[in-house]
A and B are shown apart, each in its own frame.
Chain A
Amino acid sequence: MSDISVPLVAADGTPLRKKLAQAMFKSRMRAFGLVLPLLAFIIVAFIIPIISLLWQGVHDPRFASLMPRTTEVLKPGDGKSEPTEKMFKALVADLVATKKDRTIGQVATRVNRELAGARSLFTSSARKAKKLEAPFKQSLIGVNKKWARLDVWQGMKTSSRVFTPGYLAKALDFKLLADGSIVREDKSRRIYVMLLLRTMKISLIVTLSTLVLGYPIAYLLSTLSVRTSNLLLILVLLPFWTSLLVRTTAWIAMLQAQGVMNDLFVLFGLTSDGERFSLIYNQTGTLIAMTHILLPFMILPLYSVMKTIPPSYVRAAKSMGATNATAFRRVYFPQSIPGIGAGAILVFILAIGYYITPALVGGQDGQMISNLIDFHMRKSLNWNFAAALGLVLLVIVMFLFWIYDRVIGIDNMKLG
């Protein structure tokens, strides 16, 4: 027996551990080289943009960098006392500078997010700022008497924060005040939490419907002969070869008031011609179309797991006296749970971020959180808020993932 305290050495005297590392180095480098292109691509095209965009959800230096003097004098204030001459002086100087740099538009847009109507106040005043003379307080109020209002200055103070929880607060129906406190939005203005809940509700219903519809299909596929099941699998995969847009538009043709489904309902006397069902441009439309589109993502993991469950398990259960129902419930179903987990989490995460389908068939009450993110990205151009909404969505998904891991276990998930 060799002494344990003496490290093992290779034939040439070098420690075995070191020798092994040397021997493994080349193969490790080769493995790393193989993944390097993809790794670089993901970092450049995926991770960095996502981080920088999400960063914008809490980081907005525009006002502070364009209006440095105003930002400086606003810093000590509590946002409740009257603006002083010193503040007006700084403001006028910044207005002059931003007018000259043609950046006043950005500043106006930024403050407008905190206070509706601030945009025109800023742009019009900036045009005249150059000619203003001391005392600036009087002369600026002379240009537009809104400058005397406290909420204008509070809006500027809120805008001047470089790191701001304001966007995140807004995404959760809270409001960041000038003194840094956060309060609930007025009842009439709370829409985002409702929208988040609706998004989760729709995703949950879609996940459950795909499971209910997909489970028997996957079971059938797993029990058929390879030839037949491959053919059927192609039918399951067929939608993947059609553009998402085409599939969604097809649902419009199917579900609209004068569409195929309603024509059939009328034909079979399920409804009268005057009272056709409204199946589209509402939540029902979103649910139907999304369930159809996401169904393959449920079927495939289920199928791949069910295929590995030998039929002898159910046979064994039956030979021991279990009825079909008991054999399914006690033996087959528990073994298909990894597939259910994988399919459900896949469908749920895809559903929670869905936006083309709800945008096209969702109408008013079928819109989801992604549609609002899209709106702020492309229409209102409030990227910071879009990022904050995205961040909230990401945190929710991660949280659900964590719950899933705690309840079912992520290593229990099987995709094939």
Chain B
Amino acid sequence: MSTISKEDGFVVFDHVQKSYDGEVLVVKDLNLYIGKGEFLTMLGPSGSGKTTCLMMLAGFETATYGDILLDGKPINHIPPHKRGIGMVFQNYALFPHMTVGENLSFPLEVRGQSKSEREANVIRALDMVQMVDFINRRPAQLSGGQQQRIALARSLVFEPELVLMDEPLGALDKQLREHMQYEIKHLHDRLGVTVVYVTHDQSEALTMSDRVAVFEDGVIQQLASPSDLYERPENAFVAQFIGENNTLKGTVKSVKDGVATVDYGSGHLGEAMAINCGEAGTAATLSVRPERVDIGAKSNAQAVDAKVLELIYLGDHIRCRMSVLGNDDFVVKVANASGQKHLKVGETTKVSWAKEDCRALDA
């Protein structure tokens, strides 16, 4: 998705700051424009400010400074119940004293819909998540995955244009979580609602989102599509946080046409894409994805010595931990293909990577 300007953003965070105690900023000058119908994920470690942003959008927290706009209107002073935003909570927050049907009917009741209207809408929403048969059950009689679906249906039943999800899959086991990821994704595609999704699970973010905002320390480190985020991280934090990554420390010797020549120390020189590194003489972090490293010297690539420290058999590939240029946690994924050379622990070999796959980032 191309970048969205402040003017045509459906949800706009305009220079938003948030502090709880007047001393520390939990959210620092946030500018984020979310397009209509977009699936945007706020991803980050706990304490990075992503949930606070969601709560400000929902209206449960007030911004200390700045404006939040929904469909062009500032909503800072609109109470949560008048914002018309659907929300899915971490532990579902299904009302335990009501049946599934009553839970779904609740938002329609407070909107003053007639009984027949309510019934039709409840059935329609339950049908969306294939849970019509459970209409008379209580939440306690449902499994985690079923509760999740009901929570989803409840957030959508009053047809909000914006739905917020606060780590909704956190309590599910891995398999169910993956299944629900697709289900939520398909629902989003079908209904076209705007979704703002908060998670600390990067694979969840990559699977579902149109764009991902990576939060760290109250600041968006990078806002990009999943593939850009993975393949073109803009700084060392994003490179580390998204997927597996090998980092090497070095000093920039020169930068020319977007390619940096880097001194890894002890006389090793190498080339890397100059993404976010300083001028010549400054320190830089070099980032290479494990699957982009080859065993053995390739002709068009830079090769360095590597000592095998550990081999872990993972079926389709072998995870090989090596000592490369002083980094003892350098990981290479060796495909378990026929004709592939078998490595042994303690063996010394060469590894190489293309300069396009090595990114010079901030130190």
Q: Which residues of A contact B (CB under 8 A)?
A: 310, 312-313, 315-324, 326-327, 330-331, 334-335
Contact = CB atoms under 8 A, between A and B. Distances in A.
A316 B93 contact: yes
B80 A318 contact: yes
22 contacts: A312-B90, A312-B91, A313-B95, A315-B80, A315-B89, A316-B89, A316-B93, A318-B81, A319-B87, A319-B155, A319-B164, A320-B81, A320-B107, A321-B81, A321-B82, A321-B84, A321-B110, A321-B158, A322-B110, A323-B81, A326-B110, A335-B96
A335 B97 CA distance: 7
A315 B81 contact: no
B154 interface: yes
A310 B91 contact: yes
Interface string B73-97: 0000001111111110111010111
Q: Report whether over half of chain A's contact residues are helix, strand or loop; otherwise say mixed.
A: helix
Contact of B89 (A312, A321, A323): A312
B58 interface: yes
Contacts of A316: 87, 89, 93, 95
Contacts of B81: 318-324, 327
B111 interface: yes
Contacts of B90: 312
A320 B110 contact: yes
Nearest to A315: B60
Contacts of B106: 317, 320, 322, 330
A320 B157 CA distance: 9
A315 B58 CA distance: 9
B303 to A, nearest CB: 55
Residue among A310, A319, A322 with most chain B CB within 10 A? A319
A334 B110 contact: no
Contact of A321 (B58, B60, B95, B107): B107
Given A318-B80, A319-B155, 9 more contacts: A316-B93, A316-B95, A317-B106, A318-B59, A319-B80, A319-B86, A320-B158, A321-B82, A322-B110
Contacts of A327: 81
A322 B82 CA distance: 8
Nearest to A319: B87
Top 10 nearest A-B pairs (CB, nearest first) are A320-B107, A316-B93, A319-B87, A312-B93, A318-B80, A312-B89, A318-B81, A322-B110, A334-B97, A321-B110
Interface string B151-166: 0001100100000100
A319 B110 contact: no
A140 B101 CA distance: 86
Contacts of A330: 106
A310 to B, nearest CB: 7
Interface string B37-81: 000000000000000000000111000000000000000000111
Contacts of A312: 89-91, 93
A331 B80 contact: no
Contacts of A335: 95-97
